[in-house]
Structure 1
Amino acid sequence: MGGGTTTTVPANETSILQKLIAIRDRLTALKQDRTTYLKSSDISTLYEQVIEEVRKINHIREDPSLHDEQNRVDVVLDDVFQLLSLSFLTVGLTRTAPATYASLSTVQRLLEHLNESRIYSYNELSPIEERLGEIRGIIDRDEATESPEITQLVRAKAAVCDAELKELKDSLSTLSPELSPILQQLVSIRRQIVAAGSKPKLNLNELKKLQEELREIENKRVDGNFLSANGDIPQGQNLLNTMLEECHNDLNDFSARQELVGPSLRPLYDQLTEMKNQLENMMITRRWTLRETDLYNYQQKLQTIDDMRVKGSFLDENGNIPEGQAVLLYLLRRCYALIYKLLVSSEPVSEALMPVQNQLSTVRKCLMEVKRMGGLSSARELYPYQMKLASIDNLRVDGKFMIGSAIPEGQGQLNALLAECFDLCHELRVELDDQDE
């Protein structure tokens, strides 16, 4: 929430604060309980309670003098919403307004960091713009059925992201389209420089190679300008020259440095590196291990580290700016980007049905591979697949995959996947019969 948040809570909001803390504790307990799957019914009960508290806050703050009120209630409400949003994703309700909140929080941080680092081109902005458009579509579609309090809250978050995005796009609007590929190249080089400089062991050859790439780009200039095909001087020279200069500054900093980060920043470096490694592992194993609510702890830790900065820099105990700022900011941004990717790739299937989803995806992949390799050589090759599909089909009760008496989210997706696998088996069988004839 905003920088002007006060810790004192007015008397008429203390009961709301206590209620929100209780809800946050309950959500945290559900998130940590690995003995059972998260259920939609548990989440919707808590969700209704949150809506009730938001109504009370809105009622209290109707007074114009309180419109900008920000206190601990808002901080806890933000926490609750992050957790709720991730819980919605975990139970497979990915395309609902509340589920978009966690994505929007991460997008907001990502855009703030892009603005600060100036390492971006249209290539970085267009997927974010697309995602924000998608989220707006979800909010519009849910408006009729969702409580106005929630719609308003999520819309406000989306509006902040839109404003940040517009600012970034405006700064690129001075760049002529024909210089866009050069900017993209420079953004990529600068990113590689910072990534190379963030490794525990510096590889000078890697930096040298990037330095040569930079020289090649510089050599394309005539009298300090990048020219168009017909020899004109297109708009946006300043932007490219600034980016070139920043690439050289980073290169010089990393090549000349004595240590990766100053001793006072070492604990933060270790913490961020470990988080980055864990999130990268999740990207690989997410289908089997990721419970979206696990991302909450990462979001909280990153936010805490991010908020330690003073005027954009991490300071030591004497208020000085130690070495290694670029390295820490790179790690921080990388973690935000990984969380964003994990949120975007969340499947609209409840975690209770993920094991079935994974089995069906594997069978489908194997059948596609058999088809690609020229089909079956005998009918016996189909038996293992047919038996596996029959056993999955037998899990259904009246066409639904049940967990106890509950019908988890993702029925449509699993039924479509099952039907596709049966179709593939049938196609392979027909092809084999045709060959035999």
Structure 2
Amino acid sequence: MSFSTSVPQNETFILQKLISIRERLTALKQDRSTYFKTSDVNSFYEQTVEEVRKINIIRKDPSLHDEQNRVDVVLDDVFQLLSLFFLTVGSRSAPATYASLITVKRLLDHLKESRIYSNADLTPIEERLEEIKGIVDRDAVSESSELIQLIRAKIDVCEHELAELKESLSVISPDLLPTLQRLVSIRRQILSIGSKPKFSISELKVLQEELRHIESTRVDGNFLSPDGNIPDGQNVVNGLLEECHDLLNDFIAREDLVGPALHPIYEQLTEMKNQLDSLMLTHKWTLRETDLYNFQQKLQVIDDKRVNGVFLDEEGNVPAGQTILLYLLRRCYALIYRLLVSSEPVSEALIPIQNQLSTVRRCLLEVKRMGGLSSARELYPYQMKLASIDNLRSDGKFMIGSSIPEGQGLLNALLAECFDLCHELRVEMEENDE
């Protein structure tokens, strides 16, 4: 597949239209004064699909099937934004999976490049791809064939890369996989500690002791299986063990592990990682899925600065700190992926109500766990809160103006569960009194 920096004359108007859509979506994304409406997102989506149809007509000649130019780059941006908008309004349709697929592809690329991973890294990705395939198969009839074709092509690419990664693990005996998984985890812990501007040597010493313990289980330099045989994959596991030791020694011996030329990138990645870590804690209250677009774009820009997998300085040299930067880059991608996966199928307009119901449910479950009510008066605050939320419904639906946002089923189920918990607590109290 070749990428052309020039855009053919017959695709110029398509490019202009896609840029216009991207600009309007970006402006809408930044507007915090109102909630997104499903109808608005669908309108942008239909306009984009119409441009895709035009591209397909222009490129129907087999010689143009692999054509890639700026039109495709902008189209990718638009679909990423649209995908995040669909997530924000609570839709879990095929278009909403696009952003996840982009992030999955980046994660797989980095795992393949690092060659340091275990089944624990691949299994969640495989499960997510199966989930996306199920969504796409379900929506194949109702969604545009152009989008379905595009998403299935991206799924195929991800599945092919995943199969390659699984194949490379197949050379390692099952007896060595637990040790491999533990060493992969230790390596990431070492990098997590070492990537901080200031870190405690004592934290690294704990991991160093664990490495020595793992090393002590070897016999004549080999890890043995329970039956005393030497399982396949010794080179991989021993190589990873030595790399962990080298990383530890580097971090313990040196204070400044990132070269001055890479400090700006290091600071950007550190800031993004801290922001994403904060979102992991507060996303149910503060995250608008479209906010992730900025993180994705910034990471992509940083990722694309690498030459043959490494960051270079202005003279073309390879400064120190490559491992730390790659760890931070991959960690940011992983955090975005987790935020996308944990996104609830509820429109942002209904998130405040969902958070209130979730809090009431948590409190009621805690009361039940602690032994129940001592008097009916303790139940009044919960009943009043549930009644006020119930009164927000019109004909059994939570309305925002004249629209019915996504997530009605989930909220109604949550409300019903809270009422049931109140009833159960009252019945238990009355039985105890009798």
TM-score by length of 2: 0.98
SS in 1 for 2:94: coil
Gapped runs of 5+ residues in structure 2? none
Looking at structure 2, the residues matched to 330 and 183 of structure 1 have their Cα atoms a distance apart, in angstroms, of 18
Cα-to-partner distance string for 1:275-314 (whole Å, 9 max, x where unaligned): 0000100011101110000000000000000000000000
Identify the match of residue 79 of structure 1 among 61, 77, 80.
77
Give the residue type in structure 1 aligned to 2:335: L
Which region of structure 1 is more displaced relative to structure 2, 416-425 or 244-253?
A: 244-253
Looking at structure 1, the residues matched to 255 and 131 of structure 2 have their Cα atoms a distance apart, in angstroms, of 46
Which region of structure 1 is more displaced relative to structure 2, 10-19 or 427-436?
A: 427-436
Corresponding position: 1:23 with 2:21: yes
Cα-to-partner distance string for 1:319-363 (whole Å, 9 max, x where unaligned): 000011111111101100100010000000000000110111111
Aligned twin of 1:60: 58
Shift of 1:258: 4.9
Looking at structure 2, the residues matched to 285 and 316 of structure 1 have their Cα atoms a distance apart, in angstroms, of 37
Corresponding position: 1:150 with 2:147: yes
Cα-to-partner distance string for 1:175-209 (whole Å, 9 max, x where unaligned): 11111111111111111121122111243333333
Looking at structure 1, the residues matched to 336 and 112 of structure 2 have their Cα atoms a distance apart, in angstroms, of 19
Looking at structure 2, the residues matched to 13 and 300 of structure 1 have their Cα atoms a distance apart, in angstroms, of 24
Shift of 1:211: 2.3
Aligned twin of 2:174: 177
- Tell me: CA distance 1:98–1:245, structure 2 relative to 1, closer, same or farther (3 Å): same
Aligned twin of 2:215: 218
Gapped runs of 5+ residues in structure 1? none
Looking at structure 2, the residues matched to 217 and 419 of structure 1 have their Cα atoms a distance apart, in angstroms, of 51
Aligned twin of 2:235: 238
Cα-to-partner distance string for 1:104-127 (whole Å, 9 max, x where unaligned): 111111111111122211111111
Pairing of 1:136-147 with structure 2 (within 5 A): 136-147=133-144
Looking at structure 2, the residues matched to 391 and 248 of structure 1 have their Cα atoms a distance apart, in angstroms, of 59
SS in 2 for 1:293: helix
Shift of 1:8: 0.7
Looking at structure 2, the residues matched to 44 and 136 of structure 1 have their Cα atoms a distance apart, in angstroms, of 22
Identify the match of residue 44 of structure 2 among 30, 43, 46.
46
Aligned twin of 1:120: 117
Looking at structure 1, the residues matched to 148 and 46 of structure 2 have their Cα atoms a distance apart, in angstroms, of 14
Which region of structure 1 is more displaced relative to structure 2, 156-165 or 71-80?
A: 156-165
Looking at structure 2, the residues matched to 211 and 115 of structure 1 have their Cα atoms a distance apart, in angstroms, of 26
1:119 and 1:190 in contact (8 A); partners too: no
Identify the match of residue 296 of structure 1 among 277, 293, 299.
293
Corresponding position: 1:345 with 2:332: no
Corresponding position: 1:97 with 2:94: yes
Aligned twin of 2:33: 35
The Cα RMSD (Å) is 1.2
Looking at structure 2, the residues matched to 296 and 169 of structure 1 have their Cα atoms a distance apart, in angstroms, of 30
Identify the match of residue 265 of structure 2 among 244, 264, 268.
268
Looking at structure 1, the residues matched to 350 and 207 of structure 2 have their Cα atoms a distance apart, in angstroms, of 47
Looking at structure 2, the residues matched to 301 and 294 of structure 1 have their Cα atoms a distance apart, in angstroms, of 12
Cα-to-partner distance string for 1:55-92 (whole Å, 9 max, x where unaligned): 11111111111111100000000000000000000000
Corresponding position: 1:356 with 2:353: yes
Give the residue type in structure 1 aligned to 2:392: L
Aligned twin of 1:208: 205
1:108 and 1:161 in contact (8 A); partners too: yes
1:200 and 1:260 in contact (8 A); partners too: no
Aligned twin of 2:380: 383
Aligned twin of 2:193: 196
Shift of 1:433: 1.6
Looking at structure 1, the residues matched to 355 and 219 of structure 2 have their Cα atoms a distance apart, in angstroms, of 56
SS in 2 for 1:177: coil
Which region of structure 1 is more displaced relative to structure 2, 237-246 or 374-383?
A: 237-246
Identify the match of residue 12 of structure 2 among 10, 14, 26.
14
Looking at structure 2, the residues matched to 52 and 291 of structure 1 have their Cα atoms a distance apart, in angstroms, of 27
Give the residue type in structure 2 aligned to 1:62: K
SS in 2 for 1:223: coil
TM-score by length of 1: 0.97
Give the residue type in structure 2 aligned to 1:34: R
Looking at structure 2, the residues matched to 311 and 327 of structure 1 have their Cα atoms a distance apart, in angstroms, of 17
